[in-house]
Amino acid sequence: MTTGLPDAEGTLHELIERMRPAVAYDAAFVGIYSGGAWLAERLAREIAGDHPLGFIDVSFYRDDYATTGLKGGTKRSEIPFDVTGATIVLIDDVLFTGRSVRAAINELFDFGRPASIELAVLIDRGGRELPIEATYAGARLAVARDQNVVLSRDAAGRLSLGIEPFRAS
Partner 1 sequence: MPNRNPQLNADGALTHLLTLEGLPPAVIRQILDTAVPFVGIAEREVKKVPLLRGKAVFNLFFENSTRTRTTFEIAAKRLSADVINLNIGASSTSKGETLLDTVDNLVAMDADLFVVRHAQSGAPHLIASHLIAKGRTHVHVVNAGDGRHAHPTQGLLDLYTIRHYKGDFANLTVAVVGDVLHSRVARSLIHGLTTLGTAEVRVIGPRTLLPAHVESMGVQVYEDMRLGLANCDVVVMLRLQNERMKGALLPSAGEYFKHYGLTMDKLAAAKEDVIVMHPGPMNRGVEIDSAVADGARSVILPQVTFGIAVRMAVMSILAGA
Judged by the rule CB under 8 A, the positions of this chain that interact with partner 1 are 57, 59-61, 65-66, 68-70, 72-78, 83-84, 106-107, 109-112
Q: Quote the least distance from Cβ 167 to partner 1, whole Å.
A: 16
Q: How far is CA 160 from CA 9, 129, 155, in A?
A: 7, 26, 12
Give dist(CA 131, CA 140) in Å, integer: 17
Q: Which is nearer to partner 1, 4 or 73 (CB)?
A: 73
Q: How far is CA 66 from CA 59, 60, 92, 129, 148, in A?
A: 12, 11, 24, 18, 22
Q: Quote the least distance from Cβ 34 to partner 1, whole Å.
A: 14
Give dist(CA 110, CA 143) in Å, integer: 33
Q: Quote the least distance from Cβ 130 to partner 1, whole Å.
A: 16
Q: Is 112 left (phi over 0), alpha (psi -120 to 50) or beta?
A: left
Q: Quote the least distance from Cβ 22 to partner 1, whole Å.
A: 29
Q: Which is nearer to partner 1, 31 or 138 (CB)?
A: 31
Q: Which is nearer to partner 1, 87 or 135 (CB)?
A: 87
Q: Quote the least distance from Cβ 122 to partner 1, whole Å.
A: 24
Q: Which is nearer to partner 1, 57 or 93 (CB)?
A: 57
Output b/e per residue, 23-51; b: 16+ Cβ within 10 A. Answer: bbeebbbbbbbbbbbbbbbbbbeebeeeb
Q: Which is nearer to partner 1, 21 or 72 (CB)?
A: 72
